[in-house]
Structure 1
Amino acid sequence: MLITKQGKFFRIQFKYSPFLVEKVKELPGRGFDPTNKCWVVPEVHEAVVRSFGQRYNFQFGIDIEDEQIGELPEMPQLNEAIPLKMNLFPYQANGVAYSLQKKKVIIGDQPGLGKTAQAIATILAADAFPCLVICPSSLKINWQREWHMWTDKKAMILNDNVKQNFHLFWSSGLTQVFIVNYESLKKYFVQSINKPENGKMRLNHIKFKEQFTGIFQSVIIDESHRVKSLATQQTKFTKGICTGKEYILALTGTPVINKPKDLISQLGIIEQMQAFGGYKNFVQRYCSGPNEASNLRELNYKLNLNCFYRRDKQDVLKDLPAKMRQVALCDISTRKEYADAEASLVQYLIKYKDADDEKIARALRGEIMVMIGILKNISARGKLKDVFEFVDDILESGEKLVIFAHLKEVISAIHQQYPKAVTITGSDSASERQHAVDSFQKNPDTKLIICSIKAAGVGLTLTASSRVAFVELPWTAADCDQCEGRCHRIGQLDSVTCTYFLGQNTIDEKIYRIIQTKREIASTVTGATEQVEENIVDLVADLFNQPQLVEA
């Protein structure tokens, strides 16, 4: 319990106590500061405040300077052409201009607003190559794909085959971007650790491989809240690799998960702590009091002034389409099982192609549909780790999410991971479904609803969320649109972002390609489901003879 004088007010801070709240309310001129979560009393009532503090055993802190808050300038305009393959949204161009101006920043846009594209455009405009991307393991493939989708630069995911010589790919002009997950930083970049036997590991105990770390002009740190703890090895490795780089871009939709101290390591990694008076001043100024949070308006002002920007969807709706689709490619954990099942399917597709008799062809179609279902099942199970990481990030950001799946086994696994989620499945009664919808729509604490594609694909309104994710794919574009439409309907005030999880080099990519390039299937094929499935069999058979999906 603490009382400090700041400017013309006394601040009274304590962990919630109904008794103390009632007593504070008796103080003259008292008011509550919702930003800093404390009570304030004008300095003219100093005697009353000091008497109150002594009576209830409050500590009196030293007088501190009042919050320094000014007018933030407008986000800068991007006045240079960047050779991107696609166009940025106007707000993204503003973000790129800010990052080019500041060079070492935290890009904190709400999830779904394209932080990846802004980071790529910034590094391309600055020509800050080679670039190292540090990201969660589940996002390595997507980062590689995004670099190739937006630019002509070549991106390589680090693996054991290039562990000793990946820097030569840069010097020979073959690769400009290198991608590594947090857990592998030690393997690729650390030469040795000389930590005292009974002491804590510090950064100066780590010797890095200079021939590798020294080549990079820029580093992108995706989901940088992963390195919010000063104590972890991954934080120290990331800091050491970033030291001295010209451009350091930290990407996170949740820079502060719990308290302002979450920012300390991130600001240290991007070399911006001096803008806040250094570590000691940051802790005293912004992490004080029972809640370890203080002067939050000033902190927000200084962040935006020096090294941080964040836009929510409602801030940039004029720039966004009503609905956006994005693909999340996953390296499935069930690869061996999948490869065996795929080999069997390929054999059946050969028989189907060569079949002259219509009865045999029809029988083979049925077998093929079963085998395609098995492949989808194996891929869905292999994607769950990546799905869980995605859901965790969305929920930590405070957003709600609608997630669609088909198999009971997959829905059950997701629900087991998130037991507080509500569900809409074929086994739920009408009253249970309505309760789930009402809870998701009206209860701010109900963040996740897990839906069966068939049970929840029509008729329901889930506009409390502007985020939709598919763990499994339905057969047709019409089914996709129906599921997306649970959020994208009258009453939705935000742009809806639809994320499709696809197993890389699996049936998922082939079916998604069908959905994207043959969206007319839903409208041109009428009648029994069997007719649609026969079309799918023909298209899948054709796609197994074509290259893998490149563009979403």
Structure 2
Amino acid sequence: MAQRRRRSRDTRAAQPAQRRARDNDGILPVLAKAVREIETRLQRGHVERTRFHVVALLVREERARVKADATLTDAKREAQLKRLDGIATILAQTAAREPSLFNLLGEGVEVSDSARRLKREMQVAGGLEPDPVAEPARPAATLAPSDRQVVPQSVIAAQLANPFLAPDFSAAPQRRPQAGRLTGWELIEPLLRSFEDAAGGPSCMDLPESGPPVRLPAGLELMPHQARLLAAAGTGHRTFLLADEPGLGKTAQALLAAQAANAYPLLCVVPSVVKTNWAREAAQWTPSRSVTVIHGSGESIDGFADIVVVNYEVLDRHVGWIGMHGFRGMIVDEAHFIKNKKSQRSQHVLEVADRIRQRVARPLMMALTGTPLINDIEDFRAIWQFLGWIDATKPGPSLMAELEDTGLTPLDRGFLPAARQAVIDLGIVRRRKHDVASEIPARRIADLPVELDSAAARSIREAERELALRLLQRYDAAVAARAERSGTTVEGIDEELVRRVAGWELSDAAKSSSTENVFAMVRRIGRAKATLAADYAAQLARSAGKIVFFAKHIEVMDAASELFESRGIRYASVRGDQTPSVRQRNIDSFVNDPDVAVVVCSLTAAGVGLNLQVSSNVVLAELSWTHAEQTQAIDRVHRIGQADPVTAWRIIAAQTIDAKIAELIDAKASLAATALDGSGEEVGATADIQLEALVSMLTEALTARQD
């Protein structure tokens, strides 16, 4: 009997020990130990973000597993969930001491490579099947368009050297209480309309007269308008739509603003044609900062560089690592390139911007464009979203707080001017040349009508007549169909129907290879006047010095080059199919070699980012479809450093649709004048110039028929 009691006591004594042994198996004790170590290390001033993130991931996965495990008794499931709750409580308490850790608790947070490695180690220690090791990315050349992500080796080395890339929320502003007066209101449309309707002077935030001293390399100086923007960055402003007119030194301002804000590492997203120029400007204005340029898959980049320059076209390959690299500033050059929010280019830029804001409370965000409005006030949307002023549907917190402070709603008379000013104060900086750079000489646009070769002229006029006849036939058919359907007739010209017919024609032209559509006709005009434009440029070069020759189509550039070569005129060429090194060599040749008299430039490839003020004469051999593109081209010459008056000579094919296009381009200037410069002029129609040209052609044909 005594022996049985002794065995019973021994059995009872052994049971707790067995229970403790079982409790020390599995992932739970591994997580409990890890979270206690994280807590202890934080008390000593060390933040273990990677381990914190991994524990949070494993707690979430283990909780889901326990809830779904049908083999567990209710008591066992409750006990394990209780232990998981205890670990989660410690995680929350730890994050309360270090608020930046809260960002690692969300389900959508990207998992770094170092976190994946640590997670597999903890899974093995806890007796779980580790996550599979991700396969290395295939070479970029074999990637499908949807699978183009790469991580350059130099970036991996930089990440290994600094595996935590700690988020920085030290400058996070205090959240302002919101009165809620505007909750539920549609506000984006009124905000846009405030720039379309409210003439309130130039759109420029108040800039300080002076700020912290700016370090400049020897021999370089700032103009007063540039120094004032740097003062704003130096005193804490962090979002800018820098919309100075082209030629006022936006690149230098942006690079020095990043220096004033210590916004390094800095990401610069730019058009491909100016990547090399951005690297050179960075080396010139901020020589103490290292700069690297991403080409293709980025094999040659320096992952440790202070300034990373990438072009829009390859950004999609690098979105993944860029978002986690710890950038504290982002500059988007020629920001009107992202105006179409549906494009992949825009979506990648917006995604990177959002991910930077997730890691840094107040990063420096700068959108640079001298022509932020191309066709419509809606072009503002994507730029404002990049800057964080709005999201897809509503104003961001800062803008909403400013709108609430006005005490107005969109129904109130004063809302539009107040809303416009609220947006401006977030960081719109717009200065015009004649306001801030009086030493830059004036410019003028001179139209030179030319008579085309008789055969070419006859062919083009016949094509115009055929196009006008087709428009008339479509119009008449639409009128007849409406009369048959409703019994109504039209007196005079139905302007609304004219626009519809023009729209139908434009839509068909975009899909058709017919030689009679408006695009093909304008191209034919360009070819027909190519040698005439080149001949004028050659004469001008003999008498006026260096000439910048712009054309839109390759065949026009080829014809001009052949004429210059035949006359012994040395020229350089800047085209879209050149490598960056060839392009830069040709630019340097034109700028530095006194014997190179002409540079033949593509309107699309050379219309942005170049500094060609060594010349004061521009020949526009072909017309652009936008006023902004024409302005950008002229301002390669009319910019800081120019000493002579600038003349842009537009070559116009007489008695053709060319003349009408020139008129429409000039009329298009009023949109930016109203929205940004507060001119008070009436904003013209926002439809494309192609559409307006067809409307004009059909209206003239209808008028002539009535007469």
Answer yes or no: same fold by TM over 0.5. Answer: no
- TM bin (shorter chain): 0.3 to 0.5
- Please, what TM-score do these two structures have when normalized by structure 1? 0.43
* TM-score normalised by L of structure 2: 0.35
Q: Which has the larger radius of gyration?
A: 2
Question: Relative to total residues, which structure has the larger helix share, 1 or 2?
Answer: 2
